[in-house]
A and B are shown apart, each in its own frame.
Chain A
Amino acid sequence: MELKPELGLRQVGLRFGGRPVVEGIDLGVAKGEVLVLLGPSGCGKTSLLRLMAGLIAPNAGQVTLNGAPPRPGQGTAMVFQSYRLLPWKTVAQNVAFALPDLAPAAVAQRVAEVLALVGLARVADALPAQLSGGMKQRVALARALAPRPDFLLMDEPFAALDAQARELMQMELLRLTGAQGGPGVVFVTHSVDEALVLADRIVLLSPRPGRILARVELPFAAPRWREDPRSHPAYADLRARLWAQLRDAVLNDPQSDFHRAAADLRS
């Protein structure tokens, strides 16, 4: 069964000062699906999320959300690696910031709802500086979920967390978005394991300019937050394949730190 993509990129190209950042990107994500963009740093992953959020416009091709060019905050919400909470606002006020168009009573109700959803109801009045990294990222996740976006755009959101918090947040994300009617997720990472744990589909990107190297459909059955895909027989094989492709992409990138090292090793 083919799902109709609701967030789509067609032949998208983007340049900064004449230099191509991404080229010829074709992508489609449907609501309820987790698409992981996997690639080394500098391959344009963050730029692709900005395009999807409507924060920047492409130089070539089209970006569409439900048939029209995306506009910031209209159907998409972003989650960043650095949390980006407003330090002068409480947890509840930070979540409320994403709900500018609701009446105060409706804001309070929705904030309480999403804070309960991420298990932070009891720190609603705390300031961000009083929270751990994992809690801050849960606040950021609650803020993103509050306006009920069609798509969550997540830029290496768990990269700053310790290994244990990262794994818990990955499960949390699958639980929160896997429910019926949940948002689609575009999740950026440079970790092969994170990609395999989270994704329905993985798109592997090459650096400078970012192009699509490979598309991988994952065979692991949902719901994955109950059954760890790492115990699946296909996991090791997929992991090895993705790693090999990612490594080749980095080693073939003349601007990568590893390019020279690889050349030295070969000679």
Chain B
Amino acid sequence: MGERTVTAMPDRSEARTQAEDAPRARGPAVPGAETALGTALLRLGFLGLVLIVWALAARAAPPGLFASPLAVAQALGRLVAEGRLLPALGASLQVYLLGTGLAIVAGAALGCAMGTFRLLGRTLDIYVMALAATPRVAFIPLIIVALGLGLQAKLLIVFLGAVMPVILNAYAGVRAADPELVEMARATGASRPRILRHVVLPGALPYLMTGIRIGATIGLINTVVAELYTAISGLGGLLAVYGSRFRMAEYLAVVVVLALIGAAVTEALRLIEKRLLRWREA
């Protein structure tokens, strides 16, 4: 017995060395899939737990104040069947995706420009940070006075919310460029635009993606805010209607749809990020 223990030890240490070496080699597909499957199962399990707690809470609450998962699902079906949900979803997605998309493009451009041209960055950065720290709801009356209650006002509210984290993170990413890589590039005789394109901007991409993820979240929040504060429309509008009439099942059905949008966008961004930043794992 004792002898066997002794011989077992080198084996184990060898196995550990191999495990440490593994990340350097191309990652085997199977353990990755296993982890993904495990994560999916855990997430489903947690969802089941939430549904159970929700169902119990709905049963305990006085009638009319809360709705059970089943009632919410039925309400969701009714909303779709009656043709209320899809037009509202379309209107909200239009405001959300357009406003956030514009914010990503403009924010990335401005943030990168601020990081590249130091004078511009030093001039603007405190204003951007001040604006980012101001609750954007404070601007809504101004926006309504300037743009009215229509699509333009909604887009601006979403844009203003989503653009700030994109600007600030792109700015930080460009400024965090690795000075060693920049020196290497300069030593090859690379021009400033070439260094920007091949060294600085790819290095800023992880920062930018973080900014986009935060911006996309704020954009969704501001979409609902805009639909509540300007001309009532979209999913935010449905929330207002059902909330004021205490139609809890319908109200919660809309909340679930918003949560699903949030989850879908976050997941899509995660996949894009994983693809774009493949070089970081390996």
Chain A positions near chain B (C-beta within 8 angstroms):
53, 55, 71-74, 76-78, 80, 82, 84, 86-89, 97-98, 100, 127-130, 132, 143, 147
Contacts and interface: CB of A to CB of B under 8 A. Distances in A.
Given A82-B180, A86-B181, A86-B198, A129 B188 contact: no
Interface string B225-268: 00000000000000000000000000000000000000000000
B199 interface: yes
B281 A78 contact: no
Contacts, number: 63
B52 interface: no
B128 interface: no
What is the predominant secondary structure among interface residues of chain B facing chain A?
helix
Given A80-B180, A130-B24, A72 B199 contact: no
A147 to B, nearest CB: 8
A78 B183 CA distance: 10
A132 B26 CA distance: 13
Contact of B279 (A78, A82, A129): A129
A130 B25 CA distance: 6
Contacts of B25: 130
A77 B198 contact: no
Given A80-B180, A80-B184, A100 B189 contact: yes
Contacts of B187: 53, 55, 72-73, 76-78
Contacts of B186: 55, 72
A97 B180 contact: no
Contacts of A80: 180, 184
Given A84-B180, A100-B194, A73 B188 contact: yes
A74 B26 contact: no
Contacts of B281: 129
Interface in B158-181: 180-181
